[in-house]
Structure 1
Amino acid sequence: MPDLEPDTVSALEAPEFAPAQFVRWFRDVAPYVHAFRGKTFVVAFGGELVQAGALNALVQDLSLLSSLGIRLVLVHGSRPQVNEQLRLKGFTQQFDRGLAPTDAAALECAKEAAGEIRLDIEAAFSQGLPNTPMSHAHIRVISGNFVTARPTGVLDGVDYKHTGQVRKIDIDALKFAIEKGSSVVLLSPLGFSPTGDAFNLAMEDLATSVAVALRAEKLIFLSTSQGVLNEDGTLDTELARVDADALLAIGELDEETHAFLQYSSLAVKRGVARAHLLPFELDGSVLLEIFTHDGVGTMVVEDTLDDLRAATIDDVGAILSLIEPLEADGTLVPRPRSVIERDVENFTVLEHDGVIYGCAALHTFADEQMAEMACLIVHPEWQGSGEGEILLRHMESRARATGAKRLFVLTTRTSHWFMKRGFVQGGIADLPREKQNHYNRSRNSLVFIKKL
């Protein structure tokens, strides 16, 4: 073990250190490490993060991701720094969120701010002091003219001058840098036209365009926003894109959350697997979002909601055909047709081209703020593409909407599947009283519970 600085306390000597807890956590994150190695993440943050002094901590976390084989493209903003430059030079113009003209003086301020932030980021990645997270890290940061821009032009009679929009991303060069060169690519909110003109770009637009062009696994926005909050003030950790669009249409989100959610939805719609809204004020938020099941921000996903709908009485026959093979082998409790007909409003089905290939039912217990998920089934020919995950997420969302704080399942053969998705084994005493009274002790089903 290397010598420690005199004022440094070893983790093993810290009073809160629990070896078993650390080992368990390290083992728990292993599946995420395997899943994301070789994948591309686009991480975007505004100049507010730099202004708040959070850059070094973020770079340390990104360095760790890079060491785990995750390919990174960073996109930074510079709005507060540009505004400060304008103020110091005596200009009255100030940039706010949204589209605004950029005159020649503002463009020069944008260049200066971008250059300063780029140097700060490169310096942060160059750290390598012993006994710090950057020790032994050798990460190259590559910047360049990867982005071709076009002028926004004149809109509604307003000439936006040097304000631009992304025209094209040099994907081949980007991929070479992050795949062959094993480097972190850093993009500033500036783009260049074939005539050599520079344009001021919106960080959010640039990050989204890059993530879509690279077919990134994740687009991560770091901001002062906590994410999307539910009506009771709790964080909504996962949103289907259509639900995100519905929230945007209502127009009740604060300006910052609205902007980042809008670009997150657009990215997912155009092929990015996941988009995240994270608070940079929470130390380690990127690591917590990636390596814990529920994360610490809001994740937007593209569920195949076109295939997902509430069941009707006409679906009873199809539901029975899904259930019967599992009843025959003892996986499910036999349910007569009359029971399915009575409870059909509790079912959700997956349907494609008129064929129902999956279902699940939700039963609520309002007094205990609990809900039961039952009959989670995907036809064997359709398994393996995440359909079970889609149904689970939908049922979790439905359960939350009813006010449930915990979701439980009873299973005899699929316990590992639920454990991998955040369910914890409980006992009969943990069930709602009504369910305890009807528990079938002859089946001896295992109880698994997940906090929502």
Structure 2
Amino acid sequence: MDLVFPHTFVPWFRSVAPYIHAHRGKTFVVAIAGELIAAGKLSTFAQDLALIHAMGIKVVLVHGFRPQVEEQLAAKGHVSRFSHGMRVTDPVALDCAQEAAGQLRYEIEAAFSQGLPNTPMAGSQIRVVSGNFITARPVGIVDGVDFQHTGLVRKIDAPGIRRAVDFGALVMLSPFGFSPTGEAFNLSMEDVAASTAIALQADKLIYITEVKGIPLDPSDPDSDIDQELALADAEKLLASLPNPTQPTDTAFYLQHAVKAGKNGVDRVHIVPFSVDGSILMESFTHDGVGTMIVDEKLESLREATSDDVGGVLQLIEPFEKDGTLVKRDRTEIERDIGHYTVIEHDGVIFGCAALYPYPEARTAEMAALTVSPHVQGQGDGERILKRIEQRAKSMGFDSIFVLTTRTMHWFIKRGFQQVDADWLPEARKRKYNWDRRSQVLVKKLS
């Protein structure tokens, strides 16, 4: 049996903790392609989703069943028909879809009922709830093609789903809907997932798919993926692509991601099921493994609010412990939070700095400049510094200064000059710790 060593486990666990805090109580709509189940990955995926559920995240699971329906049709000697990227659901195809959905619901419920000792499912106690949460309407006749029992989502019972997830259940939706007259319609997993995420105003919509994400070069599916795509850019890309006919077409999942993004879902992910643990890596690491479509770039540089106190404390604590920063208690940070600028990514604070004004000397101190070790070297420190300089200029100051014991060269490279401690404003000089012997560095603001 392999040992888990503290020098690897502890830093890793600390690195994911900000995401655990950020996602707790949030709602994720997770859509899985039927190909995931056909590939034999349901058991491990259920374990990963159980971990997400255990972290206090509310989960709605939507499953697809394309390969399973194809298998049922082939067994009956019936040929599939597609048009406009949708299945034409005749009575035989409808029967096959219902049989496939029933079998998959059974398999999914069984997967979440696992409880073997020494597995991630031990003690999970996940209750799976499904029901008639979807009202559908027929696609009808399009360009002369009668889609028969193929439908589109008309309405999602959002209050009913919320009651179930608030009770602690995992809600499972099959791609079926019913009309007010009780007629059944075969829906697409992608449409159901996007419509559900919009109705719930979910925090995340995650497609676990047979594709690895949105390629940087749509003409070359094997090119590297675009890890983060702004919604406006995603719309432009979608407009430039031909209408999709296959799930592997770039526009296939992108069209649903754009629809969700335009209707209030902040983050939509397209993630490959071929990567083991992809949903965990996408949700709990900085870069993830798929493509994230967001209404704007996730990295946000802004002034801090009272809601950021906990994130700032968590960020600076390791640097206080090793002596890089002076110890600040929570009361002090709560009092001074208006002085702070923070940089965040996907709701997690990765950098901060405070600006303390000394108007009588026409200068201000930049303090507690911190960037998480997990993202150092990406320029976040310089972005925070520039924002602090802008704030100081707008307040009419001629300079900013810092006190440091370990990072003097970083500041000198960025235009700071070392001065004697006697240079400090009188009010700051009275608080100067002569035992710490911090270097004083000043930068004039042009």
Q: TM-score, normalised by structure 1?
A: 0.67
Alignment partners' CA distance in 2, 1:160 and 1:222: 27
Could you tell me which residue of structure 2 aligns to residue 288 of structure 1?
A: 281
Alignment match, 1:264: 257
Gaps of 5+ in 1: 1-8, 309-321, 323-379, 391-410, 447-452
Q: Indicate the residue corresponding to 1:121 in structure 2.
A: 108
| Residue 114 of structure 1, CA deviation | 0.5
Q: Where in structure 2 are the equivalents of 1:120-139 lying within 5 Å?
A: 120-139=107-126
Look up the SS of the partner of 1:110 in the other structure. Answer: helix
* Shift, 1:60, TM fit: 0.1
How far is 1:29 from its partner?
1.1
Structure 1 residues 159 and 129: alpha-carbon distance in aligned structure 2, compared to 1, 3 A threshold? same
1:100 Cα deviation after fit:
3.1
Q: What runs of 5+ residues in structure 2 fail to find an aligned partner?
A: 304-336, 347-364, 382-405, 420-438, 442-446
Superposed displacement of residue 205, structure 1:
0.4
Match of 2:5 in 1: 18
The question of 1:143 aligning with 2:165 is answered no
- Residue 423 of structure 1 pairs with residue 409 of structure 2: no
Aligned to 1:274: 267
Write the letter of the residue equivalent to 2:418. Answer: S
Based on CA coordinates, which of the two structures has the bigger radius of gyration? 2
* Percent of aligned pairs with the same amino acid: 50
Contact 2:175 2:192 survives alignment (8 Å): yes
Aligned ranges 1:206-225 → 2 under 5 Å: 206-225=192-211
What does residue range 101-120 of structure 1 map to in structure 2 within 5 Å? 101-120=88-107
Separation (CA, whole Å) in 1 of partners of 2:160 and 2:90: 30
**Residue type of the partner of 1:165?**
L
Q: What letter matches 2:228 in structure 1?
A: E
Alpha carbons 1:212, 1:267 under 8 Å: kept: yes
Name the aligned partner's letter for residue 422 of structure 1.
V
Instruction: Give the distance between the partners of 1:251 and 1:442, measured in 2 at CA.
Output: 56
- CA gap of 1:97–1:297, structure 2 versus 1, over 3 A, is farther
* CA deviation vs aligned residue, 1:325-361 (integer Å, no higher than 9, x gap): xxxxxxxxxxxxxxxxxxxxxxxxxxxxxxxxxxxxx
- 1:302 matches 2:295: yes
Kindly provide the CA deviation profile for residues 68-112 of structure 1, in whole angstroms up to 9, marking residues without a partner as x: 110000000101111111111011225588223211110000000
Q: Does 1:93 align with 2:46?
A: no
Checking the alignment, whether the CA contact within 8 Å between 2:136 and 2:177 is kept in structure 1 is yes
Q: Which residue of 2 aligns with 1:234?
A: 224
In 2, are the aligned partners of 1:83 and 1:94 still within 8 Å (CA)? Answer: no
- Assess, with a 3 A threshold, how the Cα gap between structure 1 residues 31 and 260 changes in structure 2: closer, same or farther: same
Whole-Å Cα distance in 2 between the matches of residues 383 and 216 of structure 1? 30
Between 1:232-241 and 1:70-79, the stretch displaced more is 232-241
Could you say which residue in structure 1 is the equivalent of 2:173?
187
Tell me whether 1:64 sits opposite 2:51 in the alignment: yes
Distance 2:339 2:88 in 1: 51
Report runs of 4+ in structure 1 exceeding 3 Å deviation: 94-97, 252-257, 380-384, 386-390, 411-415, 424-428, 435-446
* Residues 98 and 26 of structure 1: CA distance in aligned 2, closer, same or farther (over 3 Å): same
The answer to whether the Cα contact below 8 Å between 1:79 and 1:95 also exists between their aligned partners in 2 is no
Q: Contact 1:86/1:94 (CA < 8 Å) preserved in 2?
A: no
AA in 2 matched with 1:206: V
1:365-390: CA deviation from partner (whole Å, max 9, x where unpaired): xxxxxxxxxxxxxxx99998x99769
Q: Secondary structure at the match of 2:215?
A: coil
Instruction: Give the partner amino acid of 1:280.
Output: F
Alignment-derived partner of residue 247 in structure 1: 237
Between stretches 255-264 and 31-40, larger displacement belongs to: 255-264
Instruction: Output the CA distance in 1 between the equivalents of 2:261 and 2:338.
Output: 27
1:36 alignment counterpart: 23
Q: Summarize the Cα distance change of 1:197–1:383 in structure 2 as closer, same or farther, 3 Å threshold.
A: farther
Mapped to 1, the partners of 2:240 and 2:86 lie a distance apart of 21
Pairwise CA distance, 1:234 = 2.8
Distance 1:60 1:302, change over 3 A: same
Q: In structure 2, give the amino acid aligned to 1:204.
A: E
- Amino acid of the residue matched to residue 20 of structure 1? H
Tell me how far apart the structure 1 counterparts of residues 94 and 130 of structure 2 sit (CA, whole Å): 19
Change (3 A) 1:201 1:123: same
- How many Å separate the matches in 2 of 1:241 and 1:134? 36
Deviation at 1:158, TM superposition (A): 1.7
SS at match of 1:242: helix
TM-score by length of 2: 0.68
Task: For residue 21 of structure 1, report the CA deviation from its aligned partner.
Answer: 1.6
1:159–1:414 CA distance, 2 compared to 1 (3 A): farther
Shift, 1:270, TM fit: 0.5
Question: For residue 268 of structure 2, what is the amino acid of its counterpart?
Answer: A
- Using the alignment, how far apart are the partners of 2:33 and 2:276 within structure 1? 16
Larger deviation, residues 231-240 vs 266-275: 231-240
Return the offset for 1:171.
Answer: 1.1
**Aligned residue pair count:** 338
- Alpha-carbon RMSD across the aligned residues, in angstroms, is 3.6
Q: Does 1:54 align with 2:30?
A: no
